[in-house]
Amino acid sequence: MTTTTPSAASALTNAEVSNADRSRVFHSWSAQGSLAPLPLAGGSGTTVWDAEGNRYLDFSSQLVNVNIGHQHPKVVAAIQAQAEILTTVAPAHANAVRAEAAQLIVDIAPDGFEKVFFTNGGADANENAIRMARLFTGRDKVLSTYRSYHGNTGAAVVATGDWRRVPNEYSRGHVHFFGPYLYRSEFWATSPEEESARALHHLERVVQAEGADSIAAILLETIPGTAGILTPPPGYLAGVRAIADRYGILLILDEVMAGFGRTGQWLALDAFDVRPDLITFAKGVNSGYVPIGGVIISSEVAHHFDERVFPGGLTYSGHPLAAASVVATINAMREEGIVENAKRIGAEVIGPRLEQLAARHELIGEVRGSGVFWAVELVEDRDTRAPLAAASIGALKGDLLSRGLLPFFADNRIHVVPPCVITAEDATRGLDIIDEALGAFQR
Ligand SMILES: Cc1ncc(COP(=O)(O)O)c(C=O)c1O
């Protein structure tokens, strides 16, 4: 039976949607007074549109999560089918679709991973990975980088490096260090090898100075995303693993943004010589069609809890609508070669074209990335590398929107992060728009 009661919202104009939003919706990470959120009503593939039919090419994947594109028919159908069977089930029960989602996720992880603890999103994935590491090691401290985002819950936001940590610093046992970022090196390095070696030396000194026996985990985004798409230099992640092993510390890799196709690999860590103890995920695992995240747990950590209670849980852990969407997403990504597409588009279209833009526009200090995960550093001056001023970033953002491109900005950077399903034609069209907007800005 298909009865539909269309939401009254579908008949609204953009102005009505905006007014309704402004009067009743309290938005994230913002002073509320001057907000003007873009109204969006629908989407398909790499396109989204507003209530009046204005269309945008989605170069943001929303919050870098819609890896499979908007409204993928197989994922929508799987959610609808599951809704007919069982819309919710308590986490204490066994459920077939939840177990199938866990199996598919473990299949994607490296050898040695065995179980999945499901959460509602990425923050609580990190929250619970930290908890597992503390219980496993009997230690307290968690080391993470200043250039990182790990989510908006108690420990995850304090593990975060950026400004969002500071007003929320109520969890204990968190220590920060600098990771590698050659373009703005903290280590006066002039080559990737030097950056890697010096960043590792710095980390090991922090471990020693903090008291290695007090450290439960090193928590890293495999490729820090919001902080700038900072692909680690050669040897860095293997070096972190070696330091963790030397001092009996667990390594947690946060794949919430970088995982599930974004980098052109199933997991970003697949491109590196590293095996963590815990992997956290969310976003691309089902492109956010229904909220879900989780921790992929190595056998060693999983079996630690065979006879010991794991003191953590969530009412919606492994929610069946979310689990069904995970199964459909992973299967569709396999059947349709979506991860391979992301890799090819990065190597053949986005990377080369961004290099061309960098050669043409003085405003670009550096481009870096892989797959559909790229950062364009915008600078006032190429020699000083001073970040482009916030007012200019605001103007550029407005111009890109007016040209039909929905961009993703972080600080002074454009992050080129379209869905993994983007075609070469659409990627080129989006990059043409960025080219035109940068040209107009410079004129
Ligand atoms: C690397 C990383 N970890 C964790 C999170 C938090 O995920 P969520 O917003 O689903 O809680 C994010 C969100 O952007 C992220 O990028």
| pLDDT on residue 1 | 34
6: in domain: no
| pLDDT on residue 442 | 84
pLDDT of 9 over the 60 cut: no
Structure-token pair, residue 244 = 């963790």
| Cβ atoms 196, 239 nearer than 8 A | yes
pLDDT of 202 over the 60 cut: yes
Q: Is residue 166 helix, strand or coil?
A: helix
What is this structure's pTM?
0.97
- Find the range with the poorest average confidence among 3-7, 166-170, 340-344: 3-7
Beta carbons within 10 angstroms of residue 225's beta carbon = 26
4: in domain: no
| pLDDT on residue 43 | 98
154: in domain: yes
Among candidates 331, 324, 316, which has minimal Cα distance to 81? 324
Do residue 313 and residue 382 come from a single domain?
no
Structure-token pair, residue 148 = 């990182």
Strands 55-58 and 278-281: unpaired
Q: Which atom of ligand 1 is found nearest the CA of 124? A: 11
Q: Which atom of ligand 1 is found nearest the CA of 148? A: 1
Do residue 283 and residue 359 come from a single domain?
no
416: in domain: yes
Do residue 190 and residue 305 come from a single domain?
yes
Single residue among 307, 335, 363 that ends a domain in this structure: 335
Do residue 238 and residue 322 come from a single domain?
yes
Do residue 309 and residue 270 come from a single domain?
yes
Among candidates 407, 324, 429, which has minimal Cα distance to 77? 324
The beta strands (E) that lie in 305-387 are given as: 364-370, 373-378
Tell me the mean pLDDT in the region 313-340: 98
215: in domain: yes
Query: Which protein residue's CA is at the shortest distance from atom 7 of ligand 1?
Result: 122
Q: From ligand 1's centre to the CA of 440, what distance in Å?
A: 34
Q: List pLDDT tens digits, range 30-88.
A: 999 999 999 999 999 999 999 999 999 999 999 999 999 999 999 999 999 999 999 99
Query: Which protein residue's CA is at the shortest distance from atom 16 of ligand 1?
Result: 257
| Cβ atoms 113, 297 nearer than 8 A | yes
pLDDT of 177 over the 80 cut: yes
Instruction: Compute the distance between CA of residue 144 and CA of residue 175 in angstroms, rounded to an integer.
Output: 7
Single residue among 335, 362, 378 that ends a domain in this structure: 335
When divided into structural domains, the chain yields a total of 2
Do residue 331 and residue 401 come from a single domain?
no
| pLDDT on residue 232 | 98
388: in domain: yes
Structure-token pair, residue 305 = 């809890």
Q: List pLDDT tens digits, range 238-255.
A: 999 999 999 999 999 999
pLDDT, the chain, mean? 96
pLDDT of 184 over the 70 cut: yes
Q: How confident is the model at residue 11 (pLDDT cuts 50, 70, 90)?
A: confident
| pLDDT on residue 338 | 99
Do residue 65 and residue 78 come from a single domain?
no
- Ligand 1 pocket, Cβ-based, cut-off 6 angstroms: 63, 121-123, 126, 149-151, 221, 225-226, 254, 256-257, 282, 293
Do residue 30 and residue 109 come from a single domain?
no
- In the chain, pLDDT over 90 holds for what percent of residues? 97
Do residue 311 and residue 214 come from a single domain?
yes
> Residue 207's domain is classified under what CATH number?
3.40.640.10
Tell me the mean pLDDT in the region 93-108: 98
pLDDT of 8 over the 70 cut: no
Tell me the mean pLDDT in the region 157-162: 97
Do residue 203 and residue 262 come from a single domain?
yes
| pLDDT on residue 178 | 98
Domain range for 275 = 74-335
Q: List pLDDT tens digits, range 417-437.
A: 999 999 999 999 999 999 999
pLDDT of 6 over the 70 cut: no
| Cβ atoms 34, 41 nearer than 8 A | no
Q: Which atom of ligand 1 is found nearest the CA of 258? A: 1
Do residue 329 and residue 262 come from a single domain?
yes
| pLDDT on residue 21 | 97
Do residue 56 and residue 82 come from a single domain?
no
Task: Give, for 77, the enclosing helix (H) or strand (E).
Answer: helix 73-85
- In the chain, pLDDT over 70 holds for what percent of residues? 98
Residue spans of alpha helices (H) in 143-255: 154-159, 192-210, 236-246
Q: How confident is the model at residue 443 (pLDDT cuts 50, 70, 90)?
A: confident
DSSP line for 214-240: GEEEEEEESS-TTTT--PPPTTHHHHH
Single residue among 335, 368, 399 that ends a domain in this structure: 335
> Residue 413's domain is classified under what CATH number?
3.90.1150.10
Q: From ligand 1's centre to the CA of 122, what distance in Å?
A: 5
Q: List pLDDT tens digits, range 339-396.
A: 999 999 999 999 999 999 999 999 999 999 999 999 999 999 999 999 999 999 999 9
pLDDT of 121 over the 90 cut: yes
pLDDT of 262 over the 80 cut: yes
3-state secondary structure 111-136: CCEEEEEEECCHHHHHHHHHHHHHHH
Q: From ligand 1's centre to the CA of 157, what distance in Å?
A: 10
397: in domain: yes
Phi and psi for 416 in degrees, rounded to 5?
A: -90, 95
8: in domain: no
| pLDDT on residue 4 | 39
Q: List pLDDT tens digits, range 134-153.
A: 999 999 999 999 999 999 99
